[in-house]
Amino acid sequence: MRELYPDIEPYRTSRLAVDDLHTLHIEECGNPHGLPVVFLHGGPGAGLSTYHRRFFDPARYRIVLFDQRGAGKSTPHAELRDNTTQDLVADIEKIRVHCGVERWVVFGGSWGSTLALAYAQAHPERVLGLVLRGIFLGRPAELRWFNELDGGARWIFPERWQRYVEHIPEDERGNLVEAYWRRLDSPDPDVRLAAALAWGWWEGGSTTLVHDPLESGMFEEPAAAISVARAEAHYFRHGVFLGPDQLLRDVGRIRHIPATIVHGRYDIICPVKSAIDLAASWPEAALHVVLAGHSAADPAIVDVLVGATDAFADRFGRG
């Protein structure tokens, strides 16, 4: 099976003011003359990790990564004003111009797959190819699956669900996202952090195929917990700022673009049905359903993702 490429450091970092409020942190790695690719991280609000640079051959790719509005090193931290899917799509275009790229490969997983699809459908002429992992289409059933009492995820990780649901009084559990939002938007920083840590405990430890249901997970650091929980609750309560079935409705705009879709069969956060539905609307895309969970670090998913980026580097012949 293919593995991640070795650790690398950026050859350039920059800051880009995308409006009067938000300034984005941008990294460029690999070969400055290589095939351009933009990496779209998950969450929303999760920010970059160093391993995100490693899905691409650094000798053949110019790898552009950035922290989305309110996430990671972008400022203001955890800011939700002027923070919608449409704002993020516009940001990707501003980054493309900022980096002097004409067309590029777009790579995104989980929320990043949502954003990649939205961007490609808005700007198909700028996309050479798509690599999509852990498909999330932002539909109501997907939103309820993981975060509400009538969803199914709680039956799979009941130990982890317990802390998430017990943070909210019984009389508010009819809409857990709204109940969490009231706490995540509280003027009391202690109330905000406690809610963010409970939210992050549920999501952050449910990503991999094999794990300890009582381990801390990915979002225990306070700043990351706050940015992820606030951004996710903000986007989820607004239906991720997309119209009904928008990403499936508009897939005709991108069917000519070569694409690889990979999804873990045992993905608890984003059920595999979303990938199946996307592939049914997009028969030209290559769908891989593999023995994995949600995490991009699960070995079977790494294998397909690295294979897909290698294939695009072969196809487009840069570097």
Catalytic residue selected from 52, 227, 294, 295 = 294
The owner of tokens 């690719």 is 37
Examine the residue annotation and report whether 110 is marked as an active-site residue of this protein: yes
Examine the residue annotation and report whether 227 is marked as an active-site residue of this protein: no
Question: The tokens of 187 are what?
Answer: 């003027």
Question: The tokens of 22 are what?
Answer: 């938000």
Task: Tell me the CA end-to-end span of the chain in Å, nearest whole number.
Answer: 24
> What is the Cα 259 distance to its own chain's centre?
17
Catalytic residue selected from 57, 91, 250, 267 = 267
Whether residue 28 contacts residue 12, with contact meaning beta carbons closer than 8 Å, is answered with yes
DSSP assignments along 114-176, one per residue: HHHHHHHHH-GGGEEEEEEES-----HHHHHHHHSTTSSGGGTSHHHHHHHHHTS-GGGTTSH
Catalytic residue selected from 41, 67, 91, 110 = 110
Helix axis angle, 85-98 relative to 111-122, nearest 10°?
70
Examine the residue annotation and report whether 274 is marked as an active-site residue of this protein: no
Nearest CA to 64 among 89, 32, 112, 19? Answer: 32
Catalytically active residues, by annotation: 110, 267, 294
